[in-house]
Amino acid sequence: MDRGAGLRATSLLRLLRSRQLSALGFKHGFTTRAGGVSEPPFDTLDFAILRTPELRRENERRLGEAVGFVGSKLHHARQVHGREVVVADGNVEGMLAVEADAVVAEPSSGFAVAARVADCGPVLVADPSTGRVAAIHAGWPGVVAGVVPAAIERLVSANGAGKASGFVAAIGPCIGSCCFEVGDDVCAKIVGVSSNAVVVRREVERQKAWVDLRRSIRIQLVTAGLADASIDDVPGKGSESCTVCNATSFYSYRRDGDASGRQLGVIVPR
């Protein structure tokens, strides 16, 4: 099974897409930092909610045109690195004040849902049997808090089948194990909710470790019931998908601090 995804140019911006989600007819995409109207140092496709609203809304309009939804129907929440899951209800501006790290969209609602990131893992999940979808913001605190299994549980409870084995997911650009250096305390927390396999290197004397955030998310998805082969890595597992390494394509808070913008992973229900 090919888990990769290619970079597709649109008339306004570039999107990264999952081949499996595309094959199943789910409109979706992971943004890069190109194709918007945001000003430096957030140039140009920044979706941060605490900056100039009119520029963000124009970026959302362009994103909607590229993906295939009405930009004014894009739902993303106030992310707090927790495990709360909410359902898109049409109150787009109201949801920006709701504290949640996963947003679900009901079938045929036409609501797009998104996760906002700048090193954290954006995860898109689709239930082909119902058309229901979720967008998950999975940084390491959210992974430890259990936002990934919480979102899958919400989708499972809604589909009536009682299992997630038919779900398809895509993990978008995030910090790579090449750059995700953490203390032993954080490492232990991530390992505790995933596996020792996520640790790629340790420096015992410095009490530091390099952790594969992408792999920890994948392990949680599989533990929640998804088939490993039904999870795409977008655009891949190498440095091309590391937000810290790839400054041309991606924002990174670890690299740029407060000068970092935010990209989105977005998906629309069938």
Q: Which pTM was predicted?
A: 0.94
Confirm if 187 and 216 have CB atoms less than 8 A apart.
no
Q: What is the distance between the alpha carbons of residues 159 and 132, in angstroms, rounded to a whole number? A: 8
Report the percent of the chain where pLDDT is more than 90. Answer: 90
Average pLDDT, whole number, for the chain? 94
The set of residues, in sequence order, having a beta carbon less than 8 Å from that of 120 and lying 6+ positions away, is 137, 138, 139, 140, 142, 174, 175, 213
Report the pLDDT value the prediction gives residue 6, as an integer from 0 to 100.
38
Which CATH class name applies to 7-267?
alpha beta
Residue 71 has pLDDT above 90, yes or no: yes
* Tens of pLDDT, residues 120-178: 999 999 999 999 999 999 999 999 999 999 999 999 998 877 789 999 999 999 999 99
